[in-house]
Amino acid sequence: MKGANFIHMNRIDTRFAELKREGRKALITFLTVGDPTVEVSAEAIKTMDAEGVDLIELGVPFSDPAADGATIQEADERALAHGTDIHKVFDMAAEIRGEVKAPMVFLLYYNVMLQYGLEAFFKKCAEAGIDGLIIPDLPYEESGEIAGYVEKYNVYQIFLVSPASRERIEKIASNAKGFLYCVSSLGVTGEKAEFKTDFENFFRDIKKYSNVPACVGFGISNGEQVRELSSYCDGAIVGSAVVKAIASGNTTEERMSNLKAKIRELKTGIE
């Protein structure tokens, strides 16, 4: 592939433009690749896409996922125990890209990229059809390390912003690409019974500065919460509840049935 081939409209921008025309909020779902196997993950991604998920986050298993709660930590452990690594994740993404319409982004830790080699990593993302990267341990202030590759390969770094960001919100939001990942509350990922964040003020500050859609994640697990939180912004991100749905079942058919049921329940919050 020559560099010029990478310059196209990013699928994330295309999808959110479609949602804006339709007047609809986004449903974004997450899974840990390799839990229980890479083959099941490929089926799950295709199932999510067929069920109308708007964007899919592919969690790259890591031995110390500092931003994640017990559900995703355990999924990472199972995936790593089965030998899932970044090479297998890339191979799977490239294999299914032609069958999946939804944008796909990696959620991964920076060390994985450094070990792979930064330019080689971005080039591989472009070749495999990965549209963006969520990197919990590479904050906005250090994003200059990869900014040149983001531009060259058109693979966005998706910035995270939290209620604790305060005076950083203006800089983060005004420089965001694709969409903003708005963390619902302090702490790690995992299902929550209630949220104590002042979302009205949080999203008012974000919308003041952001030129891209803002989507909220961390702790959202059902259609009612999707409806409640996405009313403040442009969409909802669901991780642990989806990981649990895939994990609950003894066969691929059972897992996909549980996943479909969970997605359809989540979609009641945006329809």
Where residue 52 falls (left for φ over 0; alpha for ψ -120 to 50; beta otherwise) is left
Read off the amino acid at residue 85: D
CA-to-CA distance for 220 and 228, rounded, in angstroms?
10
How confident is residue 253, by pLDDT bands cut at 50, 70 and 90? very high
Q: What is the pLDDT of residue 195?
A: 56
Nearest to 56 by CA among 89, 99, 105, 124: 105
Lowest-confidence pick of 61-65, 76-80, 184-188, 210-214: 184-188
Q: What is the pLDDT of residue 167?
A: 86
- Pick 90 or 187 by higher pLDDT: 90
For 128-141, how does the pLDDT look when each residue is reduced to its tens digit (9 = 90+)?
A: 999 999 999 999 99
For 226-245, how does the pLDDT look when each residue is reduced to its tens digit (9 = 90+)?
A: 999 899 999 999 999 999 99
Tokens 């089926």 belong to 43
First to last CA, the chain: 40
Nearest to 89 by CA among 151, 48, 45: 45
Q: What is the pLDDT of residue 192?
A: 44
Nearest to 80 by CA among 90, 88, 70: 88
Residues acting as catalytic residues: 57, 68
CA-to-CA distance for 239 and 32, rounded, in angstroms?
9
For 171-227, how does the pLDDT look when each residue is reduced to its tens digit (9 = 90+)?
A: 999 999 999 999 986 544 444 445 556 888 889 889 999 999 999 998 899 999 999
**Domains of the chain, earliest start first:** 26-267 (3.20.20.70)
| Angle formed by the axes of helices 144-153 and 118-128, nearest 10° | 30
- Across the strands, what pairs with 134? 107, 158
